[in-house]
């Protein structure tokens, strides 16, 4: 009987560890807890699904045919962006033009500097039937976790548009902040 109890306990802890690992995988994974608190405050009203930097990297590496859209303004996008991203802007975003160019079955990931502007657009797309995810922590967290960013010439760059000095403080990786 004691062997059965030991095996049961071992199985319980193994399953619990697996469940905890899966939960951690889907948590925010933002490196800076103060930045994470700021992001939570800014994005709590959004209904669209969130995706972590790690999850986006997995989707990209598995070539899942996702559409990555950058919702920052064109001047920000021109400094740097995630490779393969399409700029739709925030102020100029037009849902009707989007309908004409992107089929509803396409998986979409939105991002901006930290996740607020992309959250607004992600929610708008979700309400209109799109399968959309918002990148948790935006391009700032993408860079903070050491991922590459690209210029308009599709070259790796160390420059990032930091929006302004108040928001730029959340970029902790060694990159050149452009305002």
Domain map (residue ranges) of the chain: 1-29, 31-178
Sorting pLDDT into bands at 50, 70 and 90, what band is 93?
Answer: very high
Percent residues over pLDDT 90 in the chain: 77
Structure tokens at 147: 């991922």
pTM: 0.83
- Which of 40, 57, 179, 56 has its CA nearest to residue 114? 40
Cβ proximity of 48 and 134 under 8 Å: yes
Please state which CATH number belongs to domain 31-178. 3.40.250.10
pLDDT above 70 for 5: no
Per-residue confidence at 153, pLDDT binned at 50, 70, 90?
confident
More confident residue, 51 or 8: 51
pLDDT at 119 over 50: yes
Residue 115, pLDDT above cutoff 70? yes
């Amino acid at each position: 009987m004691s062997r059965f109890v030991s095996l049961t306990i071992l199985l319980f802890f193994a399953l619990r560890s697996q469940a905890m690992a899966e939960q951690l995988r889907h948590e925010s994974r933002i490196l800076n807890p103060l930045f994470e608190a700021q992001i939570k405050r800014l994005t709590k009203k959004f209904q669209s699904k969130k995706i972590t930097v790690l999850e986006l990297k997995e989707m990209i590496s598995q070539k899942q045919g996702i559409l990555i859209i950058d919702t920052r303004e064109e001047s920000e996008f021109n400094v740097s962006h995630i490779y393969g991203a399409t700029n739709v802007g925030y102020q100029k975003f037009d849902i009707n033009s989007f309908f004409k160019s992107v089929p509803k079955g396409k998986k979409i990931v939105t991002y901006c500097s930290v996740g607020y502007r992309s959250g607004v657009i992600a929610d708008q797309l979700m309400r209109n039937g799109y399968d959309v995810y918002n990148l948790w922590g935006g391009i700032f967290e993408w860079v903070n976790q050491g991922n590459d960013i690209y210029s308009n010439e599709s070259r790796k760059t160390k420059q990032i548009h930091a929006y302004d000095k108040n928001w730029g403080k959340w970029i902790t990786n060694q990159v050149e902040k452009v305002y």
